[in-house]
Amino acid sequence: MKLRLTEEIWKEGNMYVSYCPELDIASCGENIGQAKINLHDAIMINIEETKEMGTLSEFLENCGIEATSEDILTARKELVGFTPIELSL
């Protein structure tokens, strides 16, 4: 089974922050690659822990994750664009 999620990467100072908005899980790294790896590890640890506690289905449901096919789970909403904007104040 596959879980389809969004991965956001932000540069903050000299670190990179990685974030999964669907699961509200974040991590960081000294470079983009490390931030991605650390986020994936944090997500997998969370999934393994909720599986062990028997609350994985409840956790995914609370995060808005549902089955879209027999072997893919995805969020009810999907990011279709991301554009920085600038507003005059």
- Domains of the chain (ranges; CATH) run 2-75 (3.30.160)
Confidence of residue 83 (pLDDT cuts 50, 70, 90): confident
> What CA–CA distance (Å, rounded) separates 74 from 86?
31
Give yes or no for a contact between 51 and 44, defined as CB atoms under 8 angstroms apart: no
pTM: 0.83
Q: How many helices and strands in the chain, by DSSP H and E? A: 2, 6
Q: What is the pLDDT of residue 78?
A: 74
For the chain, give the mean pLDDT. 91
pLDDT score of 56 more than 80: yes
Answer yes or no: is pLDDT of 2 > 80.
Answer: yes
Q: What percent of the chain has pLDDT over 90?
A: 67
Decide if pLDDT at 84 tops 90. no
| Strands 65-67 vs 15-20: parallel, antiparallel or unpaired | unpaired
Q: Which of 1, 2, 31 is nearest to 17 (CA)?
A: 31
